[in-house]
Structure 1
Amino acid sequence: MKRLKDVMKDEQGLTLVELLAVVVILAVILGIGAVGIGTVIQNAREDGQVAAIQQVMAAAQVYDAQNATDETKAWVTDAPVDAQKLITDGLLKAVTFADSAKIIVTKDANGVLSIAVADDALLAGKKKNKAHTVNDKQISSLKRADFKFAE
């Protein structure tokens, strides 16, 4: 113990070089962390837009149940429905799109619902999507990669 006290007796603290090394190491660690956190945040934004499209499909299925005729299995209007119409009708709430009019729901002769999402209809941070179409059979396997988000 006496030996340790003798060695430490002459030590006054960190030298300037040691302090500078610590600061550089911390800066590198923070830089790596900031990039990683930015990627996680962007992925969460993109996943949120994918979840919103899945909500559009659920709202479209409710709209279909309310507006389809038994004989034709077609909507009464026989016209595509955009996400804005689903929002206006109260079937879709708390979703934000860059342009909800560019998200079109259609129903084919076999009764299959499809959503066509045009270019730049979704907004995830500063990134926008590329066009993609998905039907009600594929909606559960929809991924952010399907929309190819890019600036």
Structure 2
Amino acid sequence: MKNEKGMTLIELLAVIVIIAIIALIAIPAIGNIINNSKDKAILSDTSQIIAGAKIAIADGACGGDSAINCDEKVLADYIEKADLETGATYLVTKSNSEYTVKYSGLTKLTAKGKYSGLAGNTGITSKDLADYMKNGKTSK
């Protein structure tokens, strides 16, 4: 027999089947990782908005006595806008010692995964945000 080099058709088919199985496992896992990263970025932006509002309130930029409101116009000098999505709207309200943020970016959270309880919401309190960032859910 000749000294033939190369792979047989059966060997090629086996390699293709193995690659297909690996792809079927890997593609959904990668998709979940990407969605979780986007969700974490949105929650991080929300946390950044609250942090900026705390500084603005301490500086007296938001005014008010009992309920203090800070919107994106007031917070523009306190938040790095390059990190937030273009055209995002947000409003931080401080009542007593509780901060509540209404952020349009929260509507982009995916309905699957760790942060599914927040999907579709437009507002969250600072305590609930901390719980979600730490545990993926609130302690309620």
TM-score (structure 2 length as normaliser)? 0.68
Q: Separation in 1 of the partners of 2:109 and 2:124?
A: 19
- Kept in 2: contact 1:117–1:133 (CA 8 A): yes
The size of the alignment, in residue pairs, is: 127
The structure whose Rg is larger is: 1
5 Å-filtered alignment, 1:56-135, equals 56-67=49-60, 75-76=63-64, 80-86=69-75, 88=76, 90-93=77-80, 94-97=82-85, 99-101=87-89, 103-108=90-95, 110-117=96-103, 122-123=107-108, 129-135=119-125
Query: What is the Cα deviation at residue 20 of structure 1?
Result: 1.0
How well do the aligned residues superpose, as a CA RMSD in angstroms? 3.5
Q: Separation in 2 of the partners of 1:84 and 1:50?
A: 20
Q: Separation in 1 of the partners of 2:85 and 2:93?
A: 19
Report what 1:142 is aligned to. 132
Q: Separation in 2 of the partners of 1:133 and 1:124?
A: 12
Report what 2:115 is aligned to. none
The percent identity for this pair of structures is 26
- Kept in 2: contact 1:84–1:100 (CA 8 A): no
Query: What is the Cα deviation at residue 65 of structure 1?
Result: 0.3
Query: What is the Cα deviation at residue 139 of structure 1?
Result: 3.4
Structure 2 unaligned runs (5+)? 113-118
Q: Separation in 1 of the partners of 2:5 and 2:100?
A: 73
Any runs of at least 4 consecutive aligned residues in structure 1 with deviations exceeding 6 A, and if so which?
Answer: none
TM-score (structure 1 length as normaliser)? 0.64
* Amino acid paired to 2:71: D
- Kept in 2: contact 1:57–1:139 (CA 8 A): no
